[in-house]
C-alpha cells in the first residue's frame, strides 16, 4: 500500500501524458465535415411550427440516410443541395419519393426504398422543414436546366 502511494504522483503524470496524446490523436484523425466536401456550415433557421413537426418526422424516418437537417450521409444525398431546389425537385418529388421510392439516378447511394409509414400530412410537414433550411442556406427556386 505504502509503495503504491509513493508511486501515485508518477502514475498520475503518466496518465495525463497518455490521455493528452490520445486526445490529440483522436482530434487529428477525425476529419471535419468540410474536408469531406459536405456543406461547410449548414445554417438551421428558427423553424415554423409546421417545420418543427416536419423535423420530428424527418429525424425518425429520413435522417438515417439524408443526415441531420438533410445534410447527407454515406447512405443518402443531402437534401440541402442545389439539385433539390424547388424548381428542379418540386414538392411533388417528395410525395413520389415517399410513395414509390427513388431509383438511383443523381448519385451513387443506391435506390431509396418507399416509406409507406409516412402520412401525407407528415410529408407536408417534412417539405416545409426541408424548404425552410434550404432557404436559410441560399437554395432558391431555379429554372430546371440540370
Q: Residue count at the site for ligand HEC (CB under 6 A)?
A: 25
115 binding ligand HEC? (CB under 6 A): yes
Annotate 126-140 with b (16+ C-beta within 10 A) or e (fewer): bbbbbbbbbebbebe
Which of 84, 88, 96 lies closest to 120, judged by CA? 96
Residue showing cell 426504398: 113
Applying CB under 6 A, among 18, 25, 48, 107 the residue interacting with ligand HEC is 107
Of 29, 137, 143, nearest in space to 90 by CA: 143
Out of 42, 51, 112, 133, name the contact with ligand HEC by CB under 6 A.
112
| Residue given cell 431509396 in the structure block | 112
Sort 11 into a burial class: Cβ within 10 Å, 0-12 / 13-18 / 19+: exposed
Using the minimum distance from each CB to ligand HEC, give the nearer residue, 88 or 136: 88
Counting contacts by CB under 6 A, is residue 66 touching ligand HEC?
yes
State in angstroms the smallest separation of the CB of 29 from ligand HEC.
27
Shortest Cβ 46–ligand HEC spacing (Å): 21
Contact residues toward ligand HEC (CB under 6 A) are: 61-62, 64-66, 75-77, 89, 93-94, 97-98, 102, 104-107, 109-110, 112-113, 115, 118, 126
Amino acid at each position: 500500500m505504502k509503495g503504491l502511494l509513493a508511486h501515485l504522483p508518477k502514475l498520475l503524470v503518466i496518465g495525463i501524458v497518455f490521455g493528452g496524446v490520445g486526445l490529440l490523436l483522436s482530434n487529428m484523425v477525425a476529419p471535419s465535415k468540410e474536408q469531406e466536401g459536405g456543406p461547410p456550415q449548414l445554417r438551421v433557421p428558427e423553424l415554423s411550427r409546421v417545420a418543427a413537426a416536419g423535423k420530428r418526422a424527418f429525424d425518425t424516418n429520413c435522417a438515417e440516410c439524408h443526415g441531420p437537417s438533410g445534410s447527407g450521409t454515406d447512405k443518402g444525398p443531402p437534401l440541402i443541395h442545389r439539385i433539390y431546389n424547388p424548381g428542379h425537385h418540386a414538392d411533388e418529388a417528395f410525395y413520389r419519393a415517399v410513395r414509390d421510392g427513388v431509383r438511383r439516378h443523381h448519385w451513387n447511394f443506391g435506390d431509396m426504398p418507399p416509406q409507406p409509414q409516412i402520412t401525407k400530412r407528415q410529408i407536408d410537414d417534412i417539405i416545409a422543414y426541408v424548404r425552410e433550411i434550404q432557404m436559410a442556406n441560399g437554395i432558391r427556386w431555379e429554372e430546371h436546366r440540370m
